[in-house]
Amino acid sequence: MDTHDSIHTHILSNPSSNDLLVAARALQNGELVAIPTETVYGLGANGLDAEAMDKIYAAKGRPSDNPLILHVPSIDSIRPLVKAIPKTAYQLMETFWPGPLTITLPKSDLVPYRATGGLERVALRCPDHDICRQLLSLAGVPIAAPSANISGRPSPTTAQAVYEDMNGRILYIVDAGPCSIGVESTVVEVQEDAVIILRPGGITKEMLETVVSTVTYDKALSSDAKPKAPGMKYKHYAPDAPMTAFVGNAQDVAIAIDKYVHSLTRQQGENVSHDCVHIAKACNVGYLLSKEVYEALQPTILTDVPVNCIHVYGQHGDAVSLAHDFYSALLSFNEAKVTHIIAEGVQPEGLGVAVMNRMEKASGGHIEYL
Ligand code: TXA
Ligand code: MG
């Protein structure tokens, strides 16, 4: 289907220091290497080399106006990349780096416009992941890295998921096991002593407010306004099957899901109702649920559902566990070839804002707050 298939993709599992040197050398030479971070796996290329970054856009099928994040091993390493580091930005870096916070600052001439999609600001992030930071130090150049998925699909949180999308398109995948957080970094723009959140993520609004007094969300996150982060306007995180999500107390969610599954079954027509094949099995639904809702539905609609179609993420309302499991659950439902996904969301508070932002996009806005 494409021109990438000639590349043989090697997975470097539990990478030795020699493996990291090999990967760093490949990055310096303009090759693509998938890198682990604490949020999701990144598709890395030399962030000072426009041709290397072109390969990222080609491998992902990514729109060329969607800028990349440059990953660095320390605060000091951003100095050559920006015009200046404003005080507020510095305070944020000191507090949250290494960690899942990406800050956009006016770029220096050293940063190619290829990294910024033609914008004057460059996005910078220092990941909280030892192997990643070792690799960044060895490479000695900033590493541009979007999430290592084909554009539009769920982001990968394991090396295996990267392989599914990128086999034949990139040289190496540095495999350091599953990512600890599971949703992407928070992207912020710093303006004097105020901060605008362009994409919610691992560092919450409340956490930012411990450092900066004025923290707001970009209007585009709650309306049709043009987003300041160009990537936010594109289709994202979409599983193969349509998804519907429910948020509320466990009992209400269980009742709503039960009702919804029955309505799906009716839509399936006569074959199903007729021979009494179990409804959920017949509909081939993938379920992403909390423990409480799973237990409520287990004796009824979930009795005959195959195990690979049920993913229980943790206690009701646990945004951290849902964030951790969200993309891998969507990818496992793709593999199980389900025809519908029913998910239980969490309240949009704290890390829940980031998770529900992803769920909103993955479901095309089909979320019912009960
Ligand atoms: O956690 C993460 O941030 C992961 C890991 C690999 O570090 N990376 C990631 O990259 O999510 P990506 O390319 O999938 O998303 C980057 C987001 C996009 O929405 C993009 O539009 C925005 O950051 N962005 C990048 N540079 C920007 C800039 N100069 N101004 C505004 N938004 C920017
Ligand atoms: Mg992405």
Q: In angstroms, what is the span from residue 144 Cα to ligand 1's centroid?
A: 10
For ligand 2, an ion, list residues with CB under 5 A: 147
Q: Which residue owns the Cα nearest ligand 1 atom 32?
A: 229
192-218 average pLDDT score: 95
Q: In angstroms, what is the span from residue 260 Cα to ligand 1's centroid?
A: 35
**Band of the pLDDT at 225, cuts 50, 70, 90?**
confident
217-243 average pLDDT score: 85
Q: What is the pLDDT of residue 264?
A: 86
pLDDT digits (tens, 9 = 90+) for 9-38: 999 999 999 999 999 999 999 999 999 999
pLDDT digits (tens, 9 = 90+) for 58-94: 999 988 888 999 999 999 999 999 999 999 999 999 9
Give the amino acid at 207. M
**pTM, rounded to two decimals:** 0.93
Q: Is the confidence at residue 269, as pLDDT, over 70?
A: no
Q: Which residue owns the Cα nearest ligand 1 atom 15?
A: 146
**Band of the pLDDT at 229, cuts 50, 70, 90?**
confident
236-262 average pLDDT score: 95
Closest ligand (CA of 183) = 1
C-alpha–C-alpha distance, residues 203 and 100, integer Å: 6
274 to 106, 265, 268, 279: CA distances (angstroms)? 64, 11, 11, 11
Residue 183 Cα: closest atom of ligand 1: 1
Instruction: Enumerate residues lining ligand 1, CB below 6 A.
Output: 37, 39-40, 42, 66-69, 100, 102, 104, 116, 119, 121-123, 125, 145-147, 184-185, 187, 198-199, 228-232
Q: Is the confidence at residue 257, as pLDDT, over 90?
A: yes
Q: In angstroms, what is the span from residue 101 Cα to ligand 2's centroid?
A: 15
Q: Are 242 and 334 in contact (CB under 8 A)?
A: no
Q: Which residue owns the Cα nearest ligand 1 atom 21?
A: 231
Q: Is the confidence at residue 276, as pLDDT, over 70?
A: no
Residue 71 Cα: closest atom of ligand 1: 7
Residue 41 Cα: closest atom of ligand 1: 6
**Band of the pLDDT at 285, cuts 50, 70, 90?**
very high
Closest ligand (CA of 190) = 1
Please enumerate in sequence order all residues whose Cβ is within 8 A of that of 111, keeping only pairs 6 or more positions apart, or say none.
Answer: 47, 48, 70, 81, 122
Q: Give the chain's mean pLDDT.
A: 92
214-230 average pLDDT score: 88
241-265 average pLDDT score: 95
**Band of the pLDDT at 226, cuts 50, 70, 90?**
confident
**Band of the pLDDT at 5, cuts 50, 70, 90?**
low
Which residue from 32, 157, 187 has its CB within 8 A of the most atoms of ligand 1, so it is best to mutate? 187
Q: Are 153 and 104 in contact (CB under 8 A)?
A: no
Q: Are 19 and 26 in contact (CB under 8 A)?
A: no
Q: Is the confidence at residue 272, as pLDDT, over 60?
A: no
Q: Which residue owns the Cα nearest ligand 1 atom 22?
A: 229
Q: What is the pLDDT of residue 192?
A: 83
Q: In angstroms, what is the span from residue 37 Cα to ligand 2's centroid?
A: 13
pLDDT digits (tens, 9 = 90+) for 47-59: 999 999 999 999 9
Q: In angstroms, what is the span from residue 138 Cα to ligand 2's centroid?
A: 25
Q: Which residue owns the Cα nearest ligand 1 atom 20?
A: 231
pLDDT digits (tens, 9 = 90+) for 105-151: 999 999 999 999 999 999 999 999 999 999 999 999 999 999 999 99
Q: Is the confidence at residue 231, as pLDDT, over 80?
A: no
Which residue from 147, 149, 196 has its CB within 8 A of the most atoms of ligand 1, so it is best to mutate? 147
pLDDT digits (tens, 9 = 90+) for 302-346: 998 999 999 999 999 999 999 999 999 999 999 999 999 999 999
